[in-house]
Amino acid sequence: MTAGRLGWAITDGWVMTGRNMRHVIRSPEEIVLYFSLPIMFVLVFGYVFGSGMAVPGDGSYREFLLPGVFVMTMLYGLGATASQIAVDAGRGVVDRFRSLPMARSALLTGRAGADVLRALLELSVLVVCGLLVGWRWRDGLGDALLAVGLILLLRVALTWVGILLGLLVPNPDTVSVIVFPLAFPLTALSNVFVAPELLPDWLGAVAAWNPLSATVAAARELFGNPGIGGDSWAAQHALLLAVGWPVLLIAVVAPLAVRRYQRLSR
Amino acid sequence: MNHETPAVVADGLRKTYGRTHALDGFDLTVPAGSVCGLLGPNGAGKTTAVRALATLLRFDGGHARVAGYDVTRDPERVRAAIGLTGQYAAVDETLSGRQNLVLFGRLRHLPVRVARRRADELLDQFGLADAADRSAGTYSGGMRRRLDLAASLITRPRVLFLDEPTTGLDPRSRNGLWDAVRSLVAEGTTVLLTTQYLEEADQLADRISVVDAGRVVAEGTSAELKARSGADRIELVVRDAGHLPAAARVVERVAGAPVTLDREIRQLSAPVTDRITALADILRALRDAEVPVEDVVLRRPTLDEAFLHLTGHRAAGARERAEVAA
């Protein structure tokens, strides 16, 4: 790819990001819906179940919970990614894009760009919400921003999963139905709500190696929130895994998604 | 591209889906600056051909050049030179009409300011200025189609593909779209138009290619195609339905061609080659056979009949023979 082509690919991706953000602005009710779920989780798990929940070591359950909710919100964002891509691919507008002299990658990179911007918006709301219920970052702003960076990295990886999903199931209604049953067990079998060492052995191992857990554990460490540690190798190397898992996911899924997208010219 | 280079050349295009040959040796040449109509029934391969030429679809065999560029090897140059307006309006339904046009302009790599100005011009030109800031999803079918056409014209395309552009439009919107196409052609754009409507091909196209089963089965001006489908027809009305079998025998013998009967209106018709001689011979033979004739008319074939003749020859012939036998 020459420099000129790369330049256009970036410009076109940015223009498509702008297009996708205009969609958000034109349907704000969707954003409200996406915020309401994680906020509800903070309130329900933090206050209703939280009183009966234990945190290894010592510390507030709500402070333990918040990094988990940040990551869970990133996971549920995958549903929006998938259904938006399915909407685009299923309508005539994709033919318009494909008949323009724009970079072919822009439909996908524009989606990823818009999803990261959206994720930033969602995280901002959740951070405010977290501060209101007593969550704090305790190890300085630098580490906190690093944690946010890791959470966004996971979001980028999940975006590609969503893109692939949206291209495989090119019907937006189907997508929204299948995302929840995929996403919910993934959060339940992780350290989002419960520390893995409090689970039965085999479940704890599954939860500790869950890619979501890596990012959550790393975020807890960097925010200085309780619930860090555990004996497993995965728990000991949370930071490494929080980078490794998303990078691996992108390396595997992004090429599959791109190939699937190119096969639209069947 | 100079004017001797054809705007579109398709040479033996093939596209197979499983056992179906969507394109089966599709050949087409469209001279620059002309309007070519691809005429054919649903499933004939018109849309597949347009999608292949517009770089949306990879074909399995053959070669194609559009605006002088090889479609397979140089798709980006082709895309920069074409506009495509499909059967279904290809616009972003969430965005407003203006946002759509600015978006497509920017994706054609116009600077933001130029894209905005061009969007305003097109909204005015296509009568969408009042609805410019409403989301395209709220537009009527005609408005959406106009927006779709406007989106193809942001930079003036050298070759414009129109895939059944007026399907589902009311007559007024259809005429408006035809006018827009004519003024583009006047400015030098080449148009490749697919349609199921003979009238549309007749109205807009300089030359018509009749498509059937993935290939072009006939090509020419509307008048040439009418002439080629044979033959003028003689139509006779006899006084009494009882006379039809006798009349049919006589006409079939003199015209040397199968006869079509319609008992309801006591009419029979047959193709004739030499109009005047045939008319005189048939009337004389009928008088000799004492078949009373109430009315007689000679007429040129319609494009409809030409089309039927060129695409469904055997089926139509079989039906005519069956009726004669009955």
- pLDDT tens-digit profile of A67-76? 999 999 999 8
B84: left (phi over 0), alpha (psi -120 to 50) or beta: beta
Question: Does B287 reach chain A within 8 Å, measured CB to CB?
Answer: no
User: Among all chains, which residue has been given the structure tokens 């050049």?
Assistant: B65
* Interstrand relation of B232-238 and B215-220 (parallel, antiparallel or unpaired): unpaired
Domain boundary among the residues B203, B220, B237 is at: B220
Q: Find the closest chain B residue to A7 by CA distance.
A: B109
**Which residue is listed with tokens 């995302």?**
A179
Parallel/antiparallel/unpaired status of strands B267-272 and B232-238? antiparallel
A15 and B103: CB-CB below 8 Å? yes
Residue B85 domain-assigned (yes or no): yes
- CATH number, residue B162: 3.40.50.300
- The pLDDT assigned to A68 comes to 92
Residue A4: other Cβ atoms inside 10 A: 8
Interface contact flag, B56 A8, Cβ < 8 Å: no
Chain A residues whose beta carbon lies within 8 Å of the beta carbon of residue B64: none
Residues in chain A: 266
Joined tokens for residue B86: 């499909």
A98 neighbourhood in chain B, CB within 8 Å: 55-56
Looking at the structure of chain B, the number of domains it has is: 2
The C-alpha atoms of residue A226 and residue A55 are separated, in whole angstroms, by: 7
CB-CB under 8 Å, A98 with B55: yes
Show residues of chain A in contact with B101, CB under 8 Å. none
Of B82, B90, B135, the CB nearest to A93: B90
For an interface test with A, the pick among B16, B106, B107 (most A C-beta atoms closer than 10 Å) comes out as B107
Q: Residue B7 has what pLDDT?
A: 95
Of A16, A101, A265, the CB nearest to B108: A101
- Over its length of 266 residues, how does chain A's per-residue pLDDT go in tens digits? 466 888 999 999 999 999 999 998 888 887 787 788 888 888 888 888 777 777 777 778 888 999 999 999 999 888 889 988 888 887 778 889 989 999 988 999 999 999 999 999 889 989 998 999 889 998 889 999 999 999 999 999 999 999 999 999 867 788 878 888 888 888 888 888 888 878 888 888 888 888 999 999 999 999 988 877 677 788 788 889 999 999 999 999 999 998 888 887 66
pLDDT at B325: 39
- Classify residue B296: in a domain, yes or no: yes
Residue B60 within a domain: yes
* Partner-chain contact B56 A106, CB within 8 Å: no
**Residue B3 in domain:** no
CB contact under 8 Å between A26 and B57, yes or no, is no
CA distance to partner chain B, nearest, from residue A102 (Å):
5
B contact test, residue of A17, A94, A100, A109 with most B CBs within 10 A:
A100
Question: B99 and B45 share a domain?
Answer: yes
Q: Which residues of B touch A19 (CB under 8 A)?
A: 92, 95, 99, 103
* Contact: B95, A266; criterion CB under 8 Å: no
B223 has a chain A CB within 8 A of its CB: no
Residue B235 and residue B180 in one domain = no
Size of interface A-B (CB pairs under 8 A): 73
The whole-angstrom distance between residue B284's C-alpha and the CA centroid of its chain comes to 41
A221, A60 in Cβ contact below 8 A? no
Quote the tokens at residue A201.
Answer: 């052995």
Q: What is the DSSP string of B149-216?
A: HHHHTSS--SEEEEESTTTT--HHHHHHHHHHHHHHHHTT-EEEEEES-HHHHHHH-SEEEEEETTEE
CA dihedral B148, B150, B152, B156 (to 10 degrees): 170
Inter-chain residue contact A26 with B94, CB threshold 8 Å:
yes
In the structure encoding, which two tokens stand for residue A41, read together? 């989780």
Q: For residue B1, is it within any domain?
A: no
Name residues whose C-beta falls within 8 Å of residue B55's C-beta, 6 or more positions apart in sequence: A98, A99, B71, B75, B78, B79
Output phi, psi for B205, to 5 deg.
Answer: -90, 140
- Mark whether B216 and B313 lie in a shared domain: no
| B164 in any annotated domain | yes
Do residue B202 and residue B237 come from a single domain? Answer: no
Is A19's CB within 8 Å of B80's CB?
no
Q: Considering only CB atoms, which chain B residues are within 8 Å of A91?
A: 88, 90, 93
pLDDT of residue B71: 96
- Is A99 close to B55, i.e. CB distance below 8 A? yes
Residues of A within 8 A of B77 (CB-CB) are 101
Distance (Å) from the alpha carbon of A197 to chain B's nearest alpha carbon: 47
Is residue B137 domain-shared with residue B283, that is, in the same domain? no
CB contact under 8 A, B56 and A92: no
Chain A residue numbers with beta carbons less than 8 Å from the beta carbon of B92 are: 19, 93
**Amino acid B139: pLDDT:** 93
Across chain B, which has 326 residues, the per-10-residue mean pLDDT values are: 78 92 95 93 89 93 96 94 85 94 96 96 92 94 89 93 85 84 91 86 90 91 77 86 89 85 87 84 91 87 71 41 38
* B58 has a chain A CB within 8 A of its CB: yes
Whether residue B218 lies within 8 A of chain A, CB to CB, comes out as no
Interchain CB distance below 8 Å, B54 and A12: no
B130 inside 8 A of chain A by CB: no
Contact A99 B109 (CB under 8 A): no
Are B200 and B294 within one domain?
no
Shortest distance between the Cα of A74 and any Cα of chain B, in A, equals: 24
Please report residues of A whose CB lies closer than 8 A to that of B94.
22-23, 26-27
In chain A, residues with a C-beta closer than 8 Å to the C-beta of B80 are 101
Out of A22, A92, A100, the one facing B107 most closely (by C-beta) is: A100
Query: How do strand B260-262 and strand B190-195 relate by DSSP bridges?
Result: unpaired
Q: Among residues A160, A117, A155, which one has the least CA distance to residue A16?
A: A117
Structure tokens at A233: 């190798």
Same domain (yes/no): B79, B186: yes
Domain span including residue B141: 8-220
Say how far apart CA B248 and CA A210 lie, in whole Å: 85
CB contact at 8 A, B40 and B212: yes
CATH code for the domain in which residue B252 is found? 3.30.70.100
**What's the residue count for chain B?**
326
Residues B249 and B174 placed together within one structural domain of the fold: no
**Among B220, B243, B272, residue at a domain's last position:** B220
Tell me: do B304 and B172 sit in the same domain. no
DSSP 8-class letter at B67? T
Q: Are B210 and B311 in contact (CB under 8 A)?
A: yes
Looking at the structure, do residues B91 and B202 belong to the same domain, yes or no? yes
Chain A residues in contact with B109 by the CB 8 A cut-off are: 8, 11, 101-102
Q: Per-residue b/e over B203-227, b at no fewer than 16 CB within 10 Å?
A: bbbebbbbbbbbbbebbeebeebbe
Contacts of residue A92 in chain B, CB cutoff 8 Å?
86, 88-91
Asked if B172 and B234 sit in the same domain, the reply is: no
Please indicate, yes or no, whether residues B205 and B301 belong to a single structural domain of this protein: no
Contact B194, B47 (CB under 8 A): yes
B70 Cα distance to chain centroid: 25
Which among A15, A91, A266 has CB closest to B107? A15
Of A26, A95, A106, the CB nearest to B56: A95
Q: Which of residues B187, B220, B253 is at a domain's end?
A: B220
